[in-house]
Amino acid sequence: MCAIGTANPPHRIPQLQIADFMASALELDEKGTRKLRALYRVSGIGQRYSVLPDYARANGEFEFFPNTPGLEPFPSVGQRMAEYRRHALPLSVAAVRACLEQLPEVDYASITHLITVSCTGMYAPGLDIELVGALGLSGHVQRTCVNFMGCYAAVNGLKLADAFCRATPGARVLVVCTELCTLHFQKSQQDDHLVSNALFGDGAAAALVQSAPAPARPSLALTAFHCGLEPDGHADMAWHINDFGFEMTLSSYVPRMIQQGIGQLTHRLLADLPVRLADIRAFAIHPGGRKILESIEQALGLTTHDNRYAYQVLRDYGNMSSATVLFVLRDLLAGFTAADAGAPVLSFAFGPGLTLEAMLLTVAVGEGKQVAQVASMKSAAPAPALVA
C-alpha cells in the first residue's frame, strides 16, 4: 500500500448541531432532547461530514427531507439511492486524485485492477464503471465490487488487492471505499437507531496497492490477515434494506463482544509470524465508536496514546463505515520515516456478523529491501503487496 487519499463532502457539521436536527426531526420533548444531547456529547465525535446540508438546518429549509412536521413523507430508498448516485462519483474521484497525486510516477492508465467498496448505495452500471470513465482508466481494467459488508469491508478490499498482486507481480490495484452513511437517517426513537444516527458520517478513501514499495516514501506491506466471527453477535450488529433507507442494528452489547473476541483474533493472526503483540507500537483500529476503542484497549492492554489515530479520526469525521480504517491508516502512514522500516502495524475492523477482521502490515521503504524482509515472515510465500 503505497499511498492513501481521502475526501469528504463539503458540509462539515458540528456534532451538537446534528443533535439539534435529530431532536427536532424526532419531535422529542425537553427531557428526550437533553438525553439525546448527552449521547452526542459523550460520543467522542466533534463533527461529521454529510452530502446533505439539511443536518445543519434544524429549523427547516431542507433540500432533501420534506419541510413538513415529522419530515413526512419520509424519503424512500429510491430517493436515497438517487442522492447516492449523484454524490458517490465526485467524492470517489476526489479521494483517488488525493491518493495518486502522492505518486507522480504512477499513470492512471497503468492501473490494472479497480476494487470499489460500499455498503451505503448501489446501482448498475455502477460506480466502478463510472470511475473508469471519470479517471481515464483503461477500458480493460479488471473491476471488482465489494458491496454491503459494512465497516470491515475495506479489509476485504485489501485482501483482494493483495491476492491480485501476488498472482500478477506487475499489478497496480486501486481500492476505493465510498460511504454516504448520512443518507440513511432513520426517524426512530429505538436505541439502535439513536446510536447509529449519532455515529455515522460520509467519506471516501482510496489506496494504491502494488508489489513494490513507492521509491521515495514509506509504504505499508500487507503481511497477514485473519477473520473471526462471533455468532452470538449475529443480531447485535446488522444492516438491512427497508422501505425508508438502510437500517443499522447496533446494540450496546457490541463493545463487550469485541472485547471478548479481540484477544483470540490477535493470537491467531500472529501465531505463525515472528511478531508478538508486545513488539507492536503502531495501531490502526477502526473507530466504530468510543466504547469499542476503550474495550479493545482494555482487552489488549493498549493506551489511548496507542490508539490516538483512531480517536482523532472518530473526533474529526465520525464513523464512515468501510472508509474509516483507511483514514486511520492514512494518518499513521504519514508519520512514518525511513527509520521505521520493518515496523509492524496492527489493524482491526468490525462489522455485521459479528465479524472481526485483523491485518498485520509492515513499514516498507526503498526499492525492495524491506519487501524481502517482510516476505521472510511468511516462509516461502510470495512477497506481500504494498499500499503505496
Q: Which helix (H) or strand (E) holds 98?
A: helix 77-100
User: What does the radius of gyration of the chain's CA atoms come to, in whole angstroms?
Assistant: 20
Residues with Cβ within 8 Å of 65's Cβ and at least 6 positions away in sequence, in order, are 25, 52, 54, 71, 74, 75
Structural element, H or E, at residue 241: strand 237-242
Q: Are 143 and 114 in contact (CB under 8 A)?
A: yes
Residue 364, CA distances (Å) to 38, 43, 190, 272, 383 in order: 44, 35, 47, 20, 12
Say if residues 348 and 358 touch (Cβ distance below 8 Å). yes
Name the DSSP class of 63: S
The DSSP bridge partners found for residue 13 are: 48
Kindly list the catalytic residues.
151
Query: Residue 102, Cα to own-chain centre: how many angstroms?
Result: 20
Q: Is 79 exposed, middle or buried (0-12, 13-18, 19+ CB in 10 A)?
A: middle
Could you tell me the three cell numbers for 286?
A: 477502526
Distances (CA, A) of 114 to 94, 140, 144, 164, 303: 15, 10, 6, 11, 37
Contact 363, 302 (CB under 8 A): no
Q: Are 349 and 283 in contact (CB under 8 A)?
A: no
Question: CA geometry: angle at 171 spanning 168 and 173, to 5°?
Answer: 130
Our CA dihedral for 283, 10, 151, 47, rounded to 10 degrees, sits at: 60
**Secondary structure (3-state) at 118:** strand
Residue 56 corresponds to which cell in the numbers above?
445543519
Would you tell me how many other CB atoms lie within 10 Å of the CB of residue 242?
Answer: 10
